[in-house]
């Protein structure tokens, strides 16, 4: 049994995530985790909210809450929505947990001890009005290059030039508009990433053939352009405090930069899991044990932090923590060609999606159209056509037609008469091939291809049923009709097992038309027996239940209404 450690990029705390966030890390991680469990592997799936940083402070301010309360509430909301989408994490932690504080400080101490950190004095913008330091992006002013008067301190959105806040003419706080700001000296810890270039180069190149092209090329680009040392502390109050024994007391009152502590929370959340479940030191074995395969799921914006930043932290600490083996990176899901946007409320968010339709509709559509090789685009029209055709017509109707026929003509019991003939053998051969392909695609995390194969398997069921035509044979040759129905019901059962990683709730419903799911449903096993056995396992006489409609079709009027409500164009 292989042990598989899976992490999803941590969703940021400031509000409900949209479908682009979901399909870019949390959902594929869950589908893969379910597949791995269904293959019998020992899986630990970890996620958490990323709670530190300026945006969290500001969101709390806007909500009129203190930041700890705000984060606790938002965490609960994100956890509930994750459950609503059947994201089966072993643990959904919080980067503000005591476990993460302890680990982050321990990593920093190790880096300090090993000489990979140094204190540098930097110039920071301080706002007297807000009585706080401002990140570059929260200082606005007139661009010295193009004269745009709302340029941000990190970059001018108008001429795209990279700026320093001190470049701005008439700088002011983006929060209050106050011009009562000044530049102050501030000491910060820098992680000497530049020293790690040769090791990173070797490590990244060793994964070149294994990692997706997208991931390798982004990682490679950062190395090619020359790694800068990176500031890993900030002048904020909300975050993991820098311990006094680092930096000779020059960093009193400062916290670590969220990008330093957020990846460490992968480990922190694993400890949260262990603490919450009496697992003792098992969390450590997942991260320092030898036989673990570690896979990260993340959007392309996160690639640099997972191929450079976090690996440098782990290499520099030199305490045997596990580096990632496989990185599954995703492009963006767009909404009618433009970006999903949390700040502009553009697109569909997890809470709104679940208000419209059950999770499995979204899970199937999103994974079938995952932005794997390029950005993908969501439209209501496309969503409706995929749901209606693939889920309602091809899968749902298949289960419906055969179980209802069995109920009407065979008293709702698996008919035991007759023996499989040429038609059945041809189907078995086809499915042996297709199921092997499906398994390969899941193992390779090629989700679009996996779902296309899954769909082709459902189609093969319909093709078989048309050829076997029990509704015709029932009039003249009951045994022949019985064979077709028995095979049809075996197909229903097998479809439930094959589909579970993608549409877990529906898969269980489908399974229950035939018989209850064994073993409490922690995982519905992926079929590994030859199809000849797999498709011939239902007992003659065993009662089944005609299925209800599994997937309701989406009507044109609903598409029109949702487009109007969510702003498609």
Partner RNA sequence: GGCAGCGUAGCUCAGUGGUAGAGCAGGGGAAUCAUAAUCCCUUGGUCGGGGGUUCAAAUCCCUCCGCUGCUACCA
Cβ atoms of 225 and 193 closer than 8 Å: no
CA nearest neighbour of 100 among 314, 323, 262, 308 = 262
φ/ψ region of 226 (left if φ > 0, alpha if ψ in -120 to 50, else beta) reads: left
Determine which residue in the list 150, 252, 345, 389 makes contact with RNA, applying CB under 7 A.
389
What's the token pair of residue 173? 């706080």
Q: How far apart are CA 361 and CA 356, in angstroms?
A: 10
The DSSP output letter for 65 is: S
Binding to RNA (CB under 7 A) within 337-376 occurs at 339, 369, 371-376
Alpha helices per DSSP H over 474-548: 478-499, 504-514, 531-534
Instruction: Tell me: does residue 452 bind RNA (CB under 7 A).
Output: yes
| In the complex, minimum distance from the CB of residue 231 to RNA, in angstroms, rounded to a whole number | 5
Determine which residue in the list 64, 177, 226, 520 makes contact with RNA, applying CB under 7 A.
226
Determine which residue in the list 340, 526, 551, 566 makes contact with RNA, applying CB under 7 A.
551
Instruction: Tell me: does residue 315 bind RNA (CB under 7 A).
Output: no
CA nearest neighbour of 54 among 312, 258, 338, 283 = 258
Query: From residue 197, how far is each of 200, 225, 323, 348 by CA, in Å?
Result: 5, 11, 16, 40
| In the complex, minimum distance from the CB of residue 565 to RNA, in angstroms, rounded to a whole number | 21
Cβ atoms of 535 and 487 closer than 8 Å: yes
What's the token pair of residue 363? 């899970």
Binding to RNA (CB under 7 A) within 391-430 occurs at 391-394, 396-397, 400-402, 404-405, 408
Is the CB of 132 or the CB of 493 nearer to RNA?
A: 132
What residue has token string 């164009």? 569
| In the complex, minimum distance from the CB of residue 396 to RNA, in angstroms, rounded to a whole number | 2
Determine which residue in the list 65, 288, 385, 558 makes contact with RNA, applying CB under 7 A.
385
Bridge partners of residue 49, in order along the sequence? 94
| In the complex, minimum distance from the CB of residue 208 to RNA, in angstroms, rounded to a whole number | 13
Q: How far apart are CA 211 and CA 376, in angstroms?
A: 20
**Contact string (CB under 7 A) for RNA, positions 4-43, x = contact:** --------x-------------------------------
Determine which residue in the list 207, 449, 478, 509 makes contact with RNA, applying CB under 7 A.
449
Determine which residue in the list 8, 38, 54, 326 makes contact with RNA, applying CB under 7 A.
54
| In the complex, minimum distance from the CB of residue 318 to RNA, in angstroms, rounded to a whole number | 21
Instruction: Tell me: does residue 188 bind RNA (CB under 7 A).
Output: yes
| In the complex, minimum distance from the CB of residue 348 to RNA, in angstroms, rounded to a whole number | 16
Determine which residue in the list 73, 553, 563, 568 makes contact with RNA, applying CB under 7 A.
553
φ/ψ region of 469 (left if φ > 0, alpha if ψ in -120 to 50, else beta) reads: left
Is the CB of 241 or the CB of 525 nearer to RNA?
A: 241
Cβ atoms of 74 and 52 closer than 8 Å: no
| In the complex, minimum distance from the CB of residue 137 to RNA, in angstroms, rounded to a whole number | 3
Is the CB of 294 or the CB of 405 nearer to RNA?
A: 405
Binding to RNA (CB under 7 A) within 192-221 occurs at 193, 213-214, 217-218, 221
| In the complex, minimum distance from the CB of residue 216 to RNA, in angstroms, rounded to a whole number | 9
Bridge partners of residue 338, in order along the sequence? 335
**Contact string (CB under 7 A) for RNA, positions 282-301, x = contact:** ------------------xx
What's the token pair of residue 170? 């008439």
Binding to RNA (CB under 7 A) within 127-186 occurs at 135-137, 153-155, 160, 162
What residue has token string 């938002």? 74
What residue has token string 């700088």? 171
Is the CB of 225 or the CB of 281 nearer to RNA?
A: 225
């Amino acid at each position: 049994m292989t042990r598989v450690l899976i992490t999803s990029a941590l969703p940021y705390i400031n509000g409900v995530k949209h479908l682009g966030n979901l399909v870019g890390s949390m959902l594929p991680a869950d589908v893969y985790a379910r597949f791995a469990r269904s293959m019998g592997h020992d899986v630990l799936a970890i996620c958490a909210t990323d709670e530190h940083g300026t945006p969290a402070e500001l969101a709390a301010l806007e909500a009129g809450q203190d930041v700890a309360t705000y984060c606790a509430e938002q965490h609960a909301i994100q956890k509930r929505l994750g459950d609503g989408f059947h994201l089966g994490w072993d643990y959904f932690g919080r980067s503000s947990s005591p476990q993460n504080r302890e680990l982050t400080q321990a990593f920093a101490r190790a880096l300090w001890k090993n000489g990979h950190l140094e204190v540098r004095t930097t110039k920071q913008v301080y706002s007297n009005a807000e009585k706080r330091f401002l990140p570059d992006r929260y200082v606005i002013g007139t661009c010295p290059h193009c004269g745009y008067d709302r340029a941000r301190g990190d970059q001018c959105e108008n001429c795209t030039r990279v700026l320093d806040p001190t470049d701005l003419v008439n700088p002011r706080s983006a929060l209050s508009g106050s011009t009562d700001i000044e530049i102050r000296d501030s000491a910060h810890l820098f992680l000497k990433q530049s020293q790690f270039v040769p090791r990173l180069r070797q490590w990244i190149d060793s994964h070149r053939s294994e990692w997706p092209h997208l991931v390798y090329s982004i990682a490679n680009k950062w190395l090619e352009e020359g790694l800068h040392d990176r500031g890993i502390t900030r002048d904020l109050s909300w975050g993991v405090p820098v311990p006094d024994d680092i930096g000779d007391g020059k960093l009193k009152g400062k916290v670590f930069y969220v990008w330093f502590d957020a990846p460490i929370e992968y480990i922190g959340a694993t400890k949260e899991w262990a603490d919450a479940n009496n697992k003792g030191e098992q969390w450590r074995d997942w991260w320092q044990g030898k036989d673990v395969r570690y896979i990260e799921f993340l959007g392309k914006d996160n690639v640099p932090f997972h191929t450079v930043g976090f690996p440098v932290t782990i290499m520099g600490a030199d305490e045997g923590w596990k580096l990632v083996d496989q990185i599954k990176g995703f492009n963006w899901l767009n909404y009618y060609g433009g970006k999903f946007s949390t700040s502009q409320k553009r697109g569909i968010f997890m809470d709104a999606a679940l208000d419209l339709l059950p999770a499995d509709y979204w899970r199937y559509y999103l994974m079938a159209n995952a932005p794997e090789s390029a950005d993908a685009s969501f439209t209501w029209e496309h969503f409706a056509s995929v749901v209606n055709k693939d889920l309602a017509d091809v899968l749902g109707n298949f289960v419906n037609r055969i179980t209802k026929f069995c109920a009407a003509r065979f008293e709702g019991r698996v008919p035991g008469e007759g023996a499989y003939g040429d038609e059945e053998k041809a189907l078995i051969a086809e499915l042996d091939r297709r199921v092997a392909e499906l398994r390969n695609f899941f193992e390779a995390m090629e989700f679009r291809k996996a779902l296309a194969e899954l769909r082709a398997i459902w189609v093969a069921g319909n093709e078989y049923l048309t050829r076997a035509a029990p509704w015709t044979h029932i009039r003249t040759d009951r045994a022949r009709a019985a064979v077709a129905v028995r095979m049809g019901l075996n197909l229903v059962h097998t479809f439930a097992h094959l589909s579970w990683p993608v549409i877990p709730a529906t898969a269980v419903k489908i399974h229950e038309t035939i018989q209850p799911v064994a073993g409490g449903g922690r995982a519905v096993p992926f079929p590994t027996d030859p199809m000849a056995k797999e498709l011939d396992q239902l007992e003659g006489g065993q009662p089944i239940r005609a299925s209800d409609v599994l997937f309701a079709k989406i009507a044109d009027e609903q598409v029109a209404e949702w487009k109007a409500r969510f702003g498609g164009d």
